[in-house]
């Protein structure tokens, strides 16, 4: 490349960088993000299978045995056979990855991959682990699901971002799904 072309490209790159850095990326800031309730789910779970400490942390698998979900325009059951594959990190944070299938009342199948985090003060997490009733406001439980379906009626699930808030009790996980607008 000749020297004048190289100088031109360098100057243009610096000018573009300055323009990009001086221009806000989004018209709305994060506090402007809005959500709307999509549906709630009660996911029934079996006993925890604790594999022990692996190279990634304490690995646990929690089988999903069924459940139900309902919201505006969507309702159905959770098909048994999924699971929540968890890693409990050394800092006590549970990294969650639940995979399961929804069956709507009109027969549509919707595959869900829900990844998130659960953590809180050690005393609260110990109570939760024992199966004690613990108010969800005492710990953090958030996730981001991805949906997959071939049914056009439910394509709204596949082309939006969702946020989940959760609560864990002895035999189920209660989830509220919110669509990000």
Residue 17 placed within a domain: no
Residue 6 placed within a domain: no
Residue pair 170/47 in contact (Cβ under 8 Å)? The answer is no
Residue 7 placed within a domain: no
Tell me what pLDDT residue 124 has: 93
What is the domain extent for residue 145? Answer: 27-180
Q: Is 150 helix (H, G, I), strand (E, B) or coil?
A: coil
- Tokens found for residue 110: 């919707």
Residue 60 placed within a domain: yes
In whole numbers, what is the pLDDT of the chain averaged over residues? 88
Residue 15 placed within a domain: no
62 vs 80: CA distance, rounded Å: 12
DSSP per position, 13-56 = HHHHHHHHHHS-S-SS-GGG--EEEEEEEEEEE---EEEEEETT
Q: What is the CATH number of the domain that holds 83?
A: 2.40.160.20
- This prediction's pTM: 0.81
Residues of the chain with pLDDT under 50: 16, 19-20, 28
Residue 73 placed within a domain: yes
Residue 52 placed within a domain: yes
Residue 157 placed within a domain: yes
Residue (of 116, 82, 123, 113) closest to 96 by Cα position:
116
pLDDT 10s digits, 65-95: 999 999 999 999 999 999 999 999 999 999 9
Tell me what pLDDT residue 145 has: 98
Gyration radius (Cα) of the chain, Å = 22
What is the domain count for the chain? 1
């Amino acid at each position: 490349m000749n020297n004048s072309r190289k100088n031109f490209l360098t100057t243009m790159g610096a000018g573009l960088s300055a323009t990009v850095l001086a221009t806000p990326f989004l018209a709305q800031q994060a506090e402007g993000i809005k959500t709307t309730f999509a549906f709630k789910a009660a996911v029934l779970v079996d006993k925890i299978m604790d594999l022990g400490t692996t190279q990634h942390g304490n690995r646990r698998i929690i089988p999903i045995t069924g459940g139900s979900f309902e919201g505006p325009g969507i309702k159905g059951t959770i098909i048994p056979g999924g699971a929540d594959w968890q890693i409990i990190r050394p800092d006590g944070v549970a990294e969650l990855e639940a995979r399961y299938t929804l069956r709507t009342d009109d027969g549509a199948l919707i595959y869900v991959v829900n990844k998130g985090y659960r953590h809180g003060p050690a005393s609260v997490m110990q109570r939760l682990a024992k199966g004690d009733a613990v108010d969800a406001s005492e710990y953090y439980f958030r996730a981001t699901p991805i949906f997959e379906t071939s049914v056009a009626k439910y394509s709204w699930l596949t082309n939006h971002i969702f946020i989940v808030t959760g609560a864990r009790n002895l035999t189920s996980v209660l989830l509220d799904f919110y669509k990000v607008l």
